[in-house]
Amino acid sequence: MAPGPLRLVTVTHFFPDHGGGLELVAGELVDQFVRRGVVVSWFSSDTDRAPPDIRDSATHIPVRSFNMVERLTQLPFPLWSPLSLRSLWGAIGGADVVHIHEHLYPSSIVALILARLRRRPAVITQHMGALGLQNGALTALYESGARALGALLFPLAAHVVFISANVRGFFGRSSDPHSQLIFNGIDTDRFTITVQDRSVCRAALGVPPDRKAVLFVGRFVRKKGLHIIRQLAQRFPQVIWMIVGSGPENPSAWGLANVHVYGRIGHDQLPAYYQAAELLLLPSSGEGFPLVVQEALCCGSGVLSTAEVASACPAASDMVRSCPTPRSDADIDEWATALDAALADTGYLDARATRSARARAMWSWDDCAGRYLELFNTLAARAL
C-alpha cells in the first residue's frame, strides 16, 4: 500500500438523499471511513443532492444520469452518461481500493471493469438477492439473470461482501473463500430503548394511548409491499398505521382515517417512531437484511416481515415474525393472519427491553467499518 492514508473510490447508484437503505448504509460507511483517516471519492448519480464535501477527506462526484427507468417502472436503475468515464478512470487510477455497492447497475459494472483495467482491487458489497415480482416468469427471469451476472462479475472482484446470509446463499457463495458476511452497523447510541418515553412519543405523533400502532418505513413503491399495507389497513381499522418515507406512490390518497402519513423524516428522528409502534411491518421483496429491521429491533419494536428477512441473520431470526414473500394481492389473507397473531402475542410485544439489548449487542458501525477497513488494507497491501 502506498504511504499515507488509504485512498478509496466508492460507487453507488444513488446518494443517500434518494432515501433508500443501501444509500444510507453507503453514506454511514463513508462517514466512518473518513473518521478513521481514509480519503474517499464517492461517485453516484446526479438525480439527488450530494452530501457536502469534507476538505481533504471526502469528495462527492455527481455523475450526469438518466433515470427514466425508475420514473416509468419504480425500479431504481439510473444510466450514467459515458462522459463520466474519464473522471472515474482517473479517480480509480489514484485509488488503493474501489468499493462498489451492488452488482446489478451499469455504473457498478463499469467501475468494476475500470478497476480491473487499472489493476486496482475492487470490493463488491451485495445488498440484494431474490426479488419477488407479481409475474412468476419475470421473477424467474430476474433471479436467473442476477445469478448469471454474479457468476460473471464476482470473480472479477478481489472480494465480495454480503450483508446477509440469505443474499449470500442466493448466489451460492456460502463457502466461497473470496467472500464474507459483514452485517450493516447501527448507531446503537441513537437506536435504543426508552420505554419510559413511549407515551410521550405516541402523543407527539398523534397515536392514541388505547390503540396499537404498526409502522412502515421505506420508499413508497410497490416493491416495498405498500399494496399489502393498504389492504391490511382496511382490514384492521382499529390499528393506527404509521407510514414514513417518500416515493411515487401516495398513501395519503388511500382515504383511510387510521393511516397517518408522516412523509420523509430525518434519520435521527426515526427512533421516536420505532418507540411509538408495537410493530414494524415490512412485506417487501428482494431484501437482504434491511437497515430498518435492525433499527426497529435495537429500539425494542417487534418486526413482521418476510421469511427471507427472518432468515437473513440467523442469530436474530427468533426476534422477527415472518410470512411468505407476497407475490400478488391474493396473499393478503396470510399476512392478515400473521399480523393478527403478532399483535395478539403480548409476550412478544412486551419483550422490548430484551429484544433491544440483544440487537444492540450484535451490530455496531464501529465493528462494521473496522471489518471493511481490515479487508481494504489487506487487499491494498497485496496489490503493491
Q: ∠ CA 348-226-317 to the nearest 5 degrees? A: 30
In angstroms, the CA 13 to CA 100 distance is: 9
The residue ranges of every structural domain in the chain are 7-185+364-383, 195-362
pLDDT of residue 74: 67
In angstroms, the CA 247 to CA 221 distance is: 6
Share of the chain above pLDDT 70, in %: 96
Nearest one of 123, 108, 111 to 87, comparing CA atoms: 111
pLDDT grade for 196, boundaries at 50, 70 and 90: low
pLDDT for 151 beyond 60: yes
pLDDT grade for 131, boundaries at 50, 70 and 90: low
Q: Are 170 and 149 in contact (CB under 8 A)?
A: no
Give me the residue label for grid cell 452518461.
81
pLDDT for 308 beyond 80: yes
pLDDT for 342 beyond 50: yes
Helix (H, G, I), strand (E, B) or coil at 216: strand
CA torsion angle 246 77 285 175 (round to 10): -130
pLDDT grade for 35, boundaries at 50, 70 and 90: very high
pLDDT of residue 1: 47
If one compares 351 and 222, the residue with the highest pLDDT of the two is: 351
Q: How far is CA 261 from CA 20, 125, 240, 256, 354, in A?
A: 18, 32, 11, 10, 30
Domain 7-185+364-383: CATH superfamily, name plus number = Glycogen Phosphorylase B; (3.40.50.2000)
Share of the chain above pLDDT 90, in %: 69
pLDDT of residue 217: 95
Which of 64-73, 161-170, 234-243, 316-325 is predicted least confidently? 64-73
In angstroms, the CA 280 to CA 363 distance is: 18
pLDDT for 278 beyond 50: yes
The tens digit of pLDDT for each residue in 203-230 reads: 999 999 999 999 999 989 888 889 999 9
Contacts of 35 (CB under 8 A, 6+ apart): none
Class at the top of the CATH hierarchy for domain 195-362: alpha beta
- Backbone CA torsion sign across 119, 120, 123, 124: negative
Q: What is the mean pLDDT of the chain?
A: 91
Query: Residue 309's beta-bridge partner residues?
Result: none
Query: Do 7-185+364-383 and 195-362 show the same overall fold?
Result: yes
Give me the residue label for grid cell 438477492.
129
pLDDT for 231 beyond 80: yes
Angle at which helices 84-93 and 106-117 cross, to 10°: 50
E strands within 47-137?
Answer: 58-63, 65-66, 79-80, 97-101, 122-126
DSSP code for 54? B
